[in-house]
Structure 1
């Protein structure tokens, strides 16, 4: 499965799309399964990471500074430029701003790890990324879209996502790692976690695509401009994030992690915010969903490209782990 994971992920996406478009009755069940799949996927991911080294990772000030620069200085600048094309359409504008201004805190860890990125450093950066986006996304929306946006932002979905998708799986993985030192059943759980990574990612992709594809397909004409912007965003931010990481002389694994962080957005977390918008802005939720679908395809492309092309100039310390 590891050897053929990209093909399996594409199969999951295609099957989810067909299922979501042809069998409407399964969409609510698929939507309800997104967070359980994602939580289990992150539990398996955390279980494979050296969690005892997280504090060391958090102290990597250069990596944290690059993440902050990419996600909260450069991304807003790029988003401002891109949204000039839809500035007159409030629903499109709000949806694009909501999803592109918020960096991902969950499956970016998985995708970056698949491509050889430093998952441990990304996990250590999660609380900082979450705190900064809760504080800065409303401010950037105010600057770009006007004062009316402040009443639309509720931090509760961010906090629920942190608890359900990061804190609970992290604690469960940490306890499992402790038990692995004493009990054979915990060791078996740890070994099975590696085998389940690909099926859990397939389940996540299938549930996201299957539950959301119809919303995008039914409004594709209205969403076409936003979808084009999302494609451009993936390409531009992949290049910019990599360039900035190289400018700060990051090693290969942290550099790849920064590349993925600059591209991936917090769509599964901000979707409840979009759904809570007034009826006249209902298109914003479909905008967020369309970004999710574009991003998933983009991630599969980057998993192939990043290991080939994103490499530090000098990788002499890459194999030594956390410093």
Structure 2
């Protein structure tokens, strides 16, 4: 939450991004660490998936608290005045807060009521299935937009590639400063390199109409780029971090 924002700010200025909706999309997606499929890829990449799972609520709360601060810090104040906060708040409550509350309640009551415990067991195999379904739905719903806005795609892909190369190194650097073990170093590398597109997409969809198409294209492009990058991660991270 310190080094990654500095990296993102530097990359955006290095590539001279000035379009406001592209900027908003980049900041939304690159400033928020992943809290869903990163767990699966961490396990595949021989990291500590249990630590990654434990850290997800912490990462979630911190990114939601810090994202407005980052936007206020990096974006022009004139831009912020044009964003209607009500759709942001509605999307945040509907797609993020309510599911989190339901998950917490399920955890709490599963130890007291057998039906809730059975429901939790039944739901244990659903995350991967629903994650794949969400990915398919998101990409399918936005693919025409991406094809129509290839210039935007070509603008942001170099930024994403640079980010995916540098960010895991920052994770390893931080881990070595704190003398963490190899499995945790790999976990930090995956966490730093994997971003939270599926969670921030509803926020992008609540932007003003003149920005929403471009911002969502930027975010979905990051997901597609990242999925290919994760296949590289699971091969290289265990090889180089040992």
Given the two structures, how large is their TM-score scaled by the length of structure 1? 0.62
Is 1:209 equivalent to 2:139 in the alignment? yes
How far is the alpha carbon of 1:74 from its aligned partner?
0.6
Contact 2:37 2:131 in 1 (8 A): no
Question: What residue in structure 1 maps to residue 46 of structure 2?
Answer: 116
Between 1 and 2, higher relative CO (CA 8 Å, sep ≥ 6) is seen in 2
Contact 1:271 1:285 in 2 (8 A): yes
Question: What residue in structure 1 maps to residue 198 of structure 2?
Answer: 268
How far is the alpha carbon of 1:97 from its aligned partner?
0.9
Is 1:247 equivalent to 2:196 in the alignment? no
Residues 199 and 159 of structure 1: CA distance in aligned 2, closer, same or farther (over 3 Å): closer
Is 1:310 equivalent to 2:241 in the alignment? yes
Q: What do you get for the CA RMSD once the two structures are aligned?
A: 3.0
Question: What residue in structure 1 maps to residue 2 of structure 2?
Answer: 73
d(CA) in 1 for partners of 2:71 and 2:158?
21
Deviations 1:64-83 (A, max 9, x none): xxxxxxxx101110111111
d(CA) in 2 for partners of 1:300 and 1:266?
17
Contact 1:109 1:122 in 2 (8 A): yes
Structure 2 unmatched runs, 5+: none
**Aligned residue pair count:** 232
Residues 167 and 300 of structure 1: CA distance in aligned 2, closer, same or farther (over 3 Å): farther
Match of 2:154 among 224, 227, 230: 224
Alignment of 1:272-287 (within 5 A): 272-282=202-212, 283-287=214-218
How far is the alpha carbon of 1:249 from its aligned partner?
1.4
Given the two structures, how large is their TM-score scaled by the length of structure 2? 0.80
Contact 2:95 2:202 in 1 (8 A): no
d(CA) in 1 for partners of 2:211 and 2:36?
27
Deviations 1:189-219 (A, max 9, x none): 68x967x887666545444433333321221
d(CA) in 2 for partners of 1:108 and 1:251?
19
